[in-house]
Amino acid sequence: MILARSCMDAGGNSLMAGKKVLVLGGGFGGVQAAISARAALDSTHEVTIIDRNRVTHLCGMNPLLIVGERETDKAGRSLGRLANRGIKYLEASIDLIDTEDRKVATSAGTLDFDYLIIALGAQYDWDAVPGARGAYSFYEFAYARRLRRRLSRLKRGKIVIAASKPPYKCPPAPFETAMIINWWARKKGIRKNIEISVYIPEPGPLGVAGKAASMQVRNALDQRGIELVTAAGVTEVAPDGREASFANGSSTSASIIATIPVHRLPDVVAASGVANGKPWVPVNRTTLETSTSNVFAIGDVNVVPAGDFAIPKAGVFAAGQGKKVSEIIASRINETPTPGPYDGVGFCFMTYSGGRSATVGGEFLAEGGPDTFLSEPTVSGMKSKERFERDWRSFKI
Ligand SMILES: Cc1cc2nc3c(=O)[nH]c(=O)nc-3n(C[C@H](O)[C@H](O)[C@H](O)COP(=O)(O)OP(=O)(O)OC[C@H]3O[C@@H](n4cnc5c(N)ncnc54)[C@H](O)[C@@H]3O)c2cc1C
Provide CB contacts within 8 A for 191, sequence distance 6+: 182, 185
Write the DSSP symbol of residue 253. E
User: What was the pLDDT predicted at 3?
Assistant: 35
User: Given the CA of residue 317, which atom of ligand 1 is nearest to it?
Assistant: 11
CATH class for domain 2-52+92-122+265-341?
alpha beta
CA of 42 to the centre of ligand 1 (A): 29
Q: How far apart are CA 118 and CA 22, in angstroms?
A: 9
Q: How far apart are CA 292 and CA 274, in angstroms?
A: 8
User: Comparing 2-52+92-122+265-341 with 124-263+346-393, is the CATH topology the same?
Assistant: yes
Statement: residue 159 has pLDDT above 80: yes
The residue-averaged pLDDT of 375-390 equals 96
Q: Which of 14-23, 101-110, 192-201, 344-353 has the lowest mean pLDDT?
A: 14-23
Query: Could you tell me what percent of the chain has a pLDDT over 70?
Result: 96
- Give nearest CA residue, ligand 1 atom 33: 25
Q: Are 138 and 146 in contact (CB under 8 A)?
A: no
SS3 content of the chain, % helix, strand, coil (to 5): 30, 30, 40
User: What was the pLDDT predicted at 17?
Assistant: 82
H/E stretch holding 157 reads strand 157-163
Q: Give the tens place of pLDDT for each residue, 202-212.
A: 999 999 999 99
CA of 127 to the centre of ligand 1 (A): 19
Q: DSSP secondary structure string, 288-355?
A: -B-SSTTEEE-GGGEE-EETTEE----HHHHHHHHHHHHHHHHHHHHT-PPPPPP--EEEEEEE-SSS
* Amino acid found at 113: F
Q: Are 393 and 387 in contact (CB under 8 A)?
A: no
Statement: residue 1 has pLDDT above 90: no
User: Given the CA of residue 301, which atom of ligand 1 is nearest to it?
Assistant: 26
User: Given the CA of residue 25, which atom of ligand 1 is nearest to it?
Assistant: 34
The residue-averaged pLDDT of 332-349 equals 96
User: Given the CA of residue 93, which atom of ligand 1 is nearest to it?
Assistant: 42
User: What was the pLDDT predicted at 167?
Assistant: 97
Q: Give the tens place of pLDDT for each residue, 46-79.
A: 999 999 999 999 999 999 999 999 999 889 999 9
SS (H, E, C) 261-289: CEEECCHHHHHHCCCCCCCCEECCCCCCE
Statement: residue 276 has pLDDT above 70: yes
* Amino acid found at 276: N
Nearest by Cα to 26 from 111, 90, 98, 105: 90
Q: Give the tens place of pLDDT for each residue, 17-44.
A: 899 999 999 999 999 999 999 999 999 9
Nearest by Cα to 62 from 136, 116, 126: 136
User: Given the CA of residue 51, which atom of ligand 1 is nearest to it?
Assistant: 44
CA of 300 to the centre of ligand 1 (A): 7
The residue-averaged pLDDT of 362-378 equals 95
The residue-averaged pLDDT of 334-343 equals 97
- Give nearest CA residue, ligand 1 atom 21: 315
CA of 79 to the centre of ligand 1 (A): 14
Query: How far out from the chain centre does Cα 209 lie?
Result: 16
User: Given the CA of residue 299, which atom of ligand 1 is nearest to it?
Assistant: 26
- Give nearest CA residue, ligand 1 atom 20: 315
CA of 260 to the centre of ligand 1 (A): 14
List residues near ligand 1 (CB under 6 A).
Answer: 25-30, 50-53, 56, 59-60, 62-63, 93-94, 119-121, 138-139, 169-170, 173, 266, 268, 299-301, 313-316, 318, 348-349
Q: Are 198 and 158 in contact (CB under 8 A)?
A: no
Asked if omega into 167 is within 30° of 0 (cis), the reply is yes
Query: How far out from the chain centre does Cα 4 lie?
Result: 45
Write the DSSP symbol of residue 170. S
Q: How sure is the predictor about 220, in pLDDT bands with cuts at 50, 70 and 90?
A: very high
CA of 45 to the centre of ligand 1 (A): 27
Q: Give the tens place of pLDDT for each residue, 243-273.
A: 999 999 999 999 999 999 999 999 999 999 9
Write the DSSP symbol of residue 70. S
CATH class for domain 124-263+346-393?
alpha beta
CA of 315 to the centre of ligand 1 (A): 7
Q: How sure is the predictor about 16, in pLDDT bands with cuts at 50, 70 and 90?
A: low
The residue-averaged pLDDT of 74-103 equals 96
Statement: residue 313 has pLDDT above 70: yes
User: Given the CA of residue 121, which atom of ligand 1 is nearest to it?
Assistant: 27
Statement: residue 7 has pLDDT above 90: no
User: What was the pLDDT predicted at 334?
Assistant: 97
pTM of the entire predicted model: 0.95
Domain boundaries along the sequence of the chain: 2-52+92-122+265-341, 124-263+346-393
CA of 28 to the centre of ligand 1 (A): 6
Q: Give the tens place of pLDDT for each residue, 160-178.
A: 999 999 999 999 999 999 9
